[in-house]
Each structure stands twice: as C-alpha cells, then as structure tokens.
Amino acid sequence: MARLAINGGEKLRAAPFPAYAVIGKEEEDAAVRVLRSGVLSKFLGCWDADFFGGNEVQSLERDWAAHFGAKYAIAVNSNSSGLICALGALNVGPGDQVIVSPYSMSISASAPLFYGAVPVFADIEDETFCLDPVQVRRKITSKTKAIISVSIFGHPHHSAEMKRISDEFRIPVIEDCAQAPGARDGDKLAGNLGDLGVFSLNYHKHIHSGEGGIIVTNDENLATRCRLIRNHAEAVVDGMAYTGSPVNMVGYNFRMTELEAAIAREQLKKLDALLDERIRNVEYLESRLRDFTFLHLPRKRQGCKHVYYVHGIKYEHTVLDVHRDRFVEAVRAELPDTELRLGEGALISGGYVRPLYLQSLYQRKIAFGGDGYPFNLHDDLNYSKGLCPVAERMHESEFFGHELMTPGMKTEDLDVVVAAFSKVADNVNELR
C-alpha cells in the first residue's frame, strides 16, 4: 500500500497544476492602447462632462449592462466599494439593520457599518450555502432597511423567495454576485436577482482587471445615486442640480481607472467560454467523484445555472470515521501547487470562512470610535456562537471547497485530483 503524503509518503504529483491564466494578448493590447493615450483616468470630481469617467469606463459600463441584461451599470474600484455605494444609494443609515450572510467574504457583512447601520446575520441553506429565506424572515424588524444576499460559490441566491420577502416587507435586496458572473436563476442572470447587483473584478474572480467592481440596477434613481457616491457627491450635487434625496450624499472616490476598464472589457468577452470550460471540468470531476459515498456533491436549485467559483462539497465524516480537516489535509498533501499561485499549496481547503459574526469586530462591537458606534444604537443584536448553526456546521465539520477545476486544467490533471481522493480513501486507516 502506498503511504500517504501527509505521513511522509510520495505525493501523487509534484509538478504544479496549470495556472488559471486569463490575461492574454487582447488585454495587453487594450492596456497598451490606454497607456499610449496618456489618459489613465478621466474622471473629474465636479459637475462636468467627465464626471461619469472616460471612454473606457463608459464603454465597459455599456458592455456590462448589455451582457447582463441590466439597464444601468456603474463601474467602481472594487465589489467592496460597490456594496457600500449600493447601501448608500438605498438611504441606509444610523439605526438601520441590514440582514446579511455569515458565510461570505467579510465585506458582505461589514458594508452596512460604513453608513452607521449594523449587520444582522441570518443562517444559510444547507444545500446552496446562500442565505436561507426562512431564516431571513425571522430576522426582519421595523429597523430592517436592506438585505445583502450573496450568490455564494457561483450559485444564485434564492431569488424568488427573496423577491417575495422584498415585496412583502418593502425591503430592497442587494445581490452580492462577486462569485457568480454568468450564474442564472430561471431566465435571469445573477446581478438581476435583486434591486442592485454587485460584481467583483478582483484578481481572484472568474474574470478580473486586478481590482474593480461593477454595480448593476434597473432603477435610474439608484444608478444616479451610485454614480454620485462613486465620485464626490458633495462637490457635484449643486452643479448638476440634483433634486433627489440628500441622504448619504457625502461621496467617496470609488472610481475605476481607464486601464482597468479597458482590461475588463476584454475579459468580459472571454467570460462565457471560460465558464463553459469550468463547468465541463466540474462535470468531469463529478462523474468520477460520485462513487465516493462520503462526498455530497453540490446540488443546484431547479432552473439554476451554477458557475463554480468554488466547487463546494460536503463531507460525511461518519463514513470514513475521520474528521474532515484531517481528510482534506491528506488530499491536499497529495496534490501540487498551481502555477501563478505557487506557495499556497493545492487549492483545496476545509470550512471556508469562520461565520463572520465570530470576528472580533462583532464580538467586541468596536467599529468607529471607542463607544461601540453604531452597534450601541441597538439593543437586540446577537452575535453569539450558535447563532447560525448551519454556517457553523459547514465551517467546523462538513464543508470543503476547491478550485481544481479552473480552465487550463486538463483531463489528466483532473484525474490526479480524483486519484488523490481515492488514495486517501483507500488508506484512510493511516489517518485514524
């Protein structure tokens, strides 16, 4: 019997897996075009024709809106800025509560704090890991001003139920679709599954421009308010004779550069082909992983398209009688790093994030100043352990995710991934 690599045996493969390399000649040409123009950003933070940015930014916004079937797209410098912008546009402010997921990147929960509102955590669904609409309903109070619902790992959030809740209580929904460009629920693409959708163009996402984000919406007023917040609203509203609500019209500089926009335009053209290859790789892996009874492969809600930012799998520890962490570490030890991400180890790990309410920010309730603002405006906040049992269980013992299906991975590479699961399962006694 082969000794497991985690116990000093030989790894199944040492040579790195191929990179997820999405930047090519097209992006290079686009970047050079902008560099040669000498205009790396064209925004002016006052009321002027250039208030809306340069040609590349505005072209990206047109391309993005058309591709995702939204009326308006607003380019910003990150998804994080985009979430803050969207909350500001919705008039969120001190004393308000925003329902969020505990199982996401930190900003999906912390964004409300920037407008003096607080996050209220609702638990996630056991199958899609997105916010559970049943749990969301339980968290609604007269103070609830918005919901940030994350289409996590590439699976669309439960948009039909969220819409029902949104209509019934008149609470707008922001969809954080950083991980789900091209995902679909019925005939609607992610981004359109709430009142505003926010994408990310960060280096680690399906397509990227280094850093960047895009907000989409069909609401003209919200689009205008996002554009104002993006670019120094306070310095602009008089000049443009803005007649909307003055609330939250203190702006930021969330502007995207021409360079990023030009690169993002080329990336968008590649998105669909990249998604196809990613999905094909997942299908191949699943056809071979299906035989492992201790793995529970991700299920899609009916009518949904999953775009697998992460291939998220649940681990049934009773079958092998080994904890998930030990199992996943053993698989990880058999596999190589991935080119462009050398030093990170194999791109597979257990648990995803610790439920966000357990971060010290929420445990200590210190955000701005030393008095606990804005948490101290509420006496009904609960950030204690046990709050979201599904998210806690996923983190502690059930969930693991990997990125070993990115385009560039060939059948022979995917076979190594499957072989690692087999080798560990066959030699699981070494882990006990």
Ligand X SMILES: *Cc1c(COP(=O)(O)O)cnc(C)c1O
CB of 213 to ligand X, least distance (A): 5
CB of 101 to ligand X, least distance (A): 9
User: Can you read off the two tokens belonging to residue 63?
Assistant: 């391309």
CB of 265 to ligand X, least distance (A): 17
DSSP state letters, 80-128: HHHHHHHHHHTT--TT-EEEE-SSS-THHHHGGGGGT-EEEE-PBPTTT
CB of 226 to ligand X, least distance (A): 15
Q: Are strands 196-200 and 213-217 parallel, antiparallel or unpaired?
A: antiparallel
By the criterion CB under 6 A, which residues form the site for ligand X? 78-80, 104-105, 107-108, 150, 176, 178-179, 200, 202, 213
387 contacts 355 by C-beta, under 8 angstroms: yes
Q: In the complex with ligand X, which residue's Cβ is closer, 157 or 423?
A: 157
Task: Return the residue matching tokens 């950003």.
Answer: 41
CA distances from 259 to 76, 127, 155, 268, 391 (A): 13, 39, 30, 14, 39
User: Can you read off the two tokens belonging to residue 34?
Assistant: 């902008």
Q: In the complex with ligand X, which residue's Cβ is closer, 79 or 267?
A: 79
Q: In the complex with ligand X, which residue's Cβ is closer, 50 or 127?
A: 127
Instruction: Give the C-alpha separation, 76 to 211, whole Å.
Output: 9
Q: Is 403 helix (H, G, I), strand (E, B) or coil?
A: coil
Q: In the complex with ligand X, which residue's Cβ is closer, 78 or 231?
A: 78
CB of 424 to ligand X, least distance (A): 28
Q: Is 311 helix (H, G, I), strand (E, B) or coil?
A: strand
Q: In the complex with ligand X, which residue's Cβ is closer, 73 or 420?
A: 73
CB of 47 to ligand X, least distance (A): 28
CB of 51 to ligand X, least distance (A): 23
DSSP 408: T
CB of 22 to ligand X, least distance (A): 16
Scanning 140-182, the segments in alpha helix (DSSP H) are: 159-169
User: Can you read off the two tokens belonging to residue 98?
Assistant: 């925003």
Q: In the complex with ligand X, which residue's Cβ is closer, 178 or 347?
A: 178
Instruction: Give the C-alpha separation, 422 to 6, whole Å.
Output: 14
Q: In the complex with ligand X, which residue's Cβ is closer, 105 or 295?
A: 105
Cβ neighbours of residue 130 closer than 8 Å, sequence gap 6 or more: 101, 124, 149, 150, 151, 152, 155, 156, 157, 158
CA distances from 418 to 224, 226, 235, 265, 322 (A): 49, 46, 57, 36, 19
- Rounded to the nearest 10 degrees, the angle between the axes of helix 55-68 and helix 258-289 is 30
CB of 223 to ligand X, least distance (A): 19
Q: In the complex with ligand X, which residue's Cβ is closer, 199 or 362?
A: 199
> Quick count: other Cβ atoms within 10 Å of Cβ 313?
23
CB of 253 to ligand X, least distance (A): 15
Q: In the complex with ligand X, which residue's Cβ is closer, 113 or 414?
A: 113
Q: In the complex with ligand X, which residue's Cβ is closer, 79 or 338?
A: 79
